[in-house]
Structure 1
């Protein structure tokens, strides 16, 4: 793993270190159709403005993509995120 790859991975895992963000990421990743409207995400135990804040943090970490449609924002997991996370967790550090 290069230093740049480690920085990217650390940023993603740090974002998922918050229980609310982990629940939001899981909700979006498992939502039918592969994307979720922010209007449909409300069952994580925090207010809607807080949900939006955490979704923004997940997007900034490169975990989610978003698209505005009218007044609503729809979120989906970035295409390569799950595969990249799996590879990081199963491959381990590069040999010297």
Structure 2
């Protein structure tokens, strides 16, 4: 953002990402997944964030809809990983510009 003005598409994508992460439960879920060993986490391992299982599912859906997470069903469990390039995109948005 400090490197130059955002275009319409970039601003819309960034706003969707930050809006999705604006909820403390979603931010914790995202952090749990992003920091998981091997880069992915089973919902069974990340659902202890102080809310009910249906609420966890709702928040994970919001993170997927914002393009932050990808998911894959394996048997009865769903595994989540941070979508490709999401962390790099966020880092570019938040990195200070050149002096």
In the alignment, the residues of structure 2 paired with residue 59 and residue 90 of structure 1 have an alpha-carbon distance, to the nearest angstrom, of: 24
**Residue matched to 1:87:** 92
Q: TM-score, normalised by structure 2?
A: 0.88
- 1:78 pairs, out of 64, 75, 83, with 83
Deviations 1:17-71 (A, max 9, x none): 0000000000000011110111112221001111111011000000000001111
- Aligned residue pair count: 92
Give 3-state SS (helix, strand or coil) of 1:76's partner: strand
Q: TM-score, normalised by structure 1?
A: 0.91
In the alignment, the residues of structure 2 paired with residue 64 and residue 84 of structure 1 have an alpha-carbon distance, to the nearest angstrom, of: 14
In the alignment, the residues of structure 2 paired with residue 33 and residue 52 of structure 1 have an alpha-carbon distance, to the nearest angstrom, of: 22
Give the structure, 1 or 2, with the largest relative contact order (CA under 8 Å, sep 6 or more). 2
Whether 2:69 is the aligned partner of 1:61: answer: no
Residue 75 of structure 1, CA deviation: 0.3
Whether 2:45 is the aligned partner of 1:40: answer: yes
Residue 12 of structure 1, CA deviation: 0.3
Uncovered stretches (5+) of structure 2, i.e. residues with no partner: 1-5
- 1:11 pairs, out of 8, 16, 26, with 16
- 2:26 pairs, out of 21, 26, 34, with 21
Runs of 4+ in 1 over 3 A off after TM superposition: none
